[in-house]
């Protein structure tokens, strides 16, 4: 059976540059903290990658700390903000990834409007309600389930005017758009994941503005200037650096991915006029479609498409493999009848026309068979 991969938001296909860099780094012995020749070789791999990642997001290399992925980076952003034991205030967007939303139970939730964009007037009111605690506002650049973009400039402007700082989970933004300039946008803390950009899984980074200091949330050997103890994942970091370095060369491929998404939505609207396309009129990144097929549970759709060799997901992929109702769609005001029946189709750097054709054929056949409308 032909396999069709349309789940780039869960994990992008590995780019050849990453594979080459990983394999080369695997053959390089040494611990980056060792002072001998082997350690120095590993250190060079890590530092070269740091330069590439930093360049990709418009910051100086010493702003970047490598982590095991964006989940760890997001935890560090939220828990490491402020001095240890200092009470801090955190305001987090209602459609954030669980690695932001579920980290600190006392965080205040910033709602989104029905179009999925955070309610700026509400943010202003929350910020006006000042207290003495340092405040962190955490809003992602691009949503992983819907592709909806948040107005980061406006969020930063409002937060800074009130003396608050901004964390931005840019995991999907760097995958979807190729890059995002942290300094230019005035973001104070940025978190990244390599595998959404076509690098290896299990490696990510956090970048912190020069005038801000986070405190470590794990103790150990003091690597990464004490902010993230633990021997660096040298091969993973090498792969991450390689995809950042190669990113400009993929700009055209990302444009093609966006064109495929647009064609998918046009075809669906034409061939099934009642199709519900979530976020269709919202500011949105170009590579993802979120499609509800009323009356057919999302898991059923994912399994039916899988039988045809097509990999898509029901909302966000989660570790248990089970699907739960999307908190993103719920926050936008969708009821179970829509959010329980929505699948996510995401294109990426290696997506081609045939992927779209195969998806359409399988999807329309499934919809004819299963849909209640
Ligand atoms: N934030 C967003 C927006 C994501 O899409 C993901 C991955 N699903 C993460 C954070 C977590 O990243 P990682 O897989 O590197 O832990």
Task: Determine the average pLDDT of the residues in 127-151.
Answer: 95
Q: What average pLDDT is seen over the chain?
A: 95
Tally of domains in the chain: 2
168, 244, 318, 341: which is the annotated catalytic residue?
318
Residue 251 tokens read as 């700009």
The predicted pLDDT at position 274 comes to: 82
Closest ligand 1 atom, CA of 74? Answer: 10
Burial of 320 (0-12, 13-18, 19+ CB in 10 A): exposed
User: Could you tell which of 69, 173, 189 is best to mutate to test the pocket of ligand 1, judged by most ligand atoms within 8 Å of the CB?
Assistant: 69
Alpha-carbon gap, residue 58 to 52, rounded angstroms: 10
Look at residues 205, 221, 248 and tell me which one is the last residue of a structural domain.
248
Above pLDDT 90, what percent of the chain?
A: 91
Is 48 in the same domain as 192?
Answer: yes
Domain check: are 265 and 232 in the same one?
no
At 58, list the tokens.
Answer: 């418009």
- What CATH number should be reported for the domain holding residue 194? 3.40.640.10
Which pLDDT does position 319 carry in this prediction? 46
Do 91 and 102 belong together in one domain?
yes
Boundary of a domain, candidates 218, 248, 278: 248
CATH number for the domain spanning 269: value is: 3.90.1150.10
Catalytic (active site) residue 168? no
Q: How far is CA 73 from CA 77, 159, 174, 297, in A?
A: 6, 21, 15, 33
Question: Does 97 sit in the ligand 1 pocket, CB within 6 Å?
Answer: yes
Average pLDDT (320-347) is: 88
318 and 227 assigned to the same domain: no
pLDDT in tens, 214-261: 999 999 999 999 999 999 999 999 999 999 999 999 999 999 999 999
Give 140: exposed, middle or buried? Use CB within 10 Å, 0-12, 13-18, 19+.
buried
- Do 295 and 231 share a domain, yes or no? no
| 168 plus 278 within the same structural domain | no
Ligand 1: centre distance to CA 5 (Å)? 18
**Sequence-ordered alpha helix ranges (H) in 186-340:** 234-246, 251-271, 298-307, 327-331, 336-339
Are 206 and 280 in the same domain? no
Q: Closest ligand 1 atom to the C-alpha of 71? A: 16
The rounded Å distance from CA 97 to ligand 1 centre is 7
Average pLDDT over residues 36-62: 97
Clarify whether residues 164 and 186 are in a common domain: yes
Bridge partners of 292, per DSSP, are: 276, 342
Q: Spell 147-170 as b/e; 16+ CB within 10 A means b.
A: bbbbbbeebbebbeebebbbbbbb
One domain, residues 32 and 59: yes
At residue 320, the pLDDT reads 46
Structural domain including 179 reads 16-248
Question: Which atom of ligand 1 is nearest the CA belonging to 143?
Answer: 3
Whether 168 and 110 share a structural domain: yes
Q: What percent of the chain lies above the pLDDT cut of 70?
A: 97
Q: Do 57 and 202 fall into the same domain?
A: yes
Give pLDDT, residue 373. 64
- Ligand 1 neighbour 141 (Cβ under 6 A): no
**Backbone φ and ψ of 349, nearest 5°:** -60, -25
Token readout for 308 is 């045809």
Q: Are residues 254 and 237 in the same domain?
A: no
Find tokens 């998404």 and name the residue.
Answer: 261
Domain termination residue (choose one: 212, 232, 248): 248
């Amino acid at each position: 059976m032909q396999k069709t991969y349309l789940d780039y938001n869960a994990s992008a296909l590995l780019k050849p540059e990453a594979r080459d860099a990983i394999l080369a780094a695997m053959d390089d012995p040494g611990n980056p903290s060792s002072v001998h020749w082997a350690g120095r070789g590993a250190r060079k791999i890590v530092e070269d990658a740091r330069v590439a990642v930093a360049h990709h997001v418009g910051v100086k290399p010493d702003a970047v700390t490598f982590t095991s992925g964006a989940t760890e980076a997001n935890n560090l952003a939220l828990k490491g903000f402020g001095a240890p034991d200092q009470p801090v205030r955190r305001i987090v967007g209602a459609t954030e990834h669980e690695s932001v939303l579920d980290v600190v139970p006392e965080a205040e939730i910033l709602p989104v409007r029905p179009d999925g964009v955070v309610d700026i007037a509400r943010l202003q009111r929350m910020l006006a309600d000042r207290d003495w605690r340092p405040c962190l506002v955490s809003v992602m650049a691009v949503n992983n389930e819907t592709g909806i973009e948040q107005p980061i400039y406006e969020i930063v402007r409002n937060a800074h005017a009130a003396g608050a700082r901004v964390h931005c989970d840019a995991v999907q933004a760097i995958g979807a758009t190729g890059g995002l300039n942290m300094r230019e946008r005035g973001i104070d803390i940025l978190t990244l994941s390599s595998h959404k950009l076509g690098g290896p899984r299990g490696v990510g980074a956090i970048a912190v503005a020069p005038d801000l200091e986070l405190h470590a949330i794990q103790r150990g050997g003091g690597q990464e200037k004490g902010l993230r103890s633990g021997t660096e994942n040298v091969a993973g970091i090498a792969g991450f650096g390689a995809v950042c370095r190669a990113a400009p060369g993929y700009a055209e491929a990302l444009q093609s991915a966006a064109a495929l998404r647009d064609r998918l939505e046009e075809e669906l609207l034409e061939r099934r006029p009642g199709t519900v396309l979530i976020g269709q009129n919202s500011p949105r990144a170009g590579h993802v479609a979120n499609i509800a097929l009323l009356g057919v549970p999302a898991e059923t759709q994912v399994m039916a498409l899988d039988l045809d060799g097509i990999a898509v997901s029901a909302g966000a992929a989660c570790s248990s493999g089970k699907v739960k109702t999307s908190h993103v769609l719920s926050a936008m005001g969708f009821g179970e009848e829509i959010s329980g029946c929505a699948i996510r189709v995401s294109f990426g750097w290696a997506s081609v026309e045939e992927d779209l054709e195969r998806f359409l054929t399988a999807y329309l056949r499934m919809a004819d068979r299963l849909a209640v409308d």
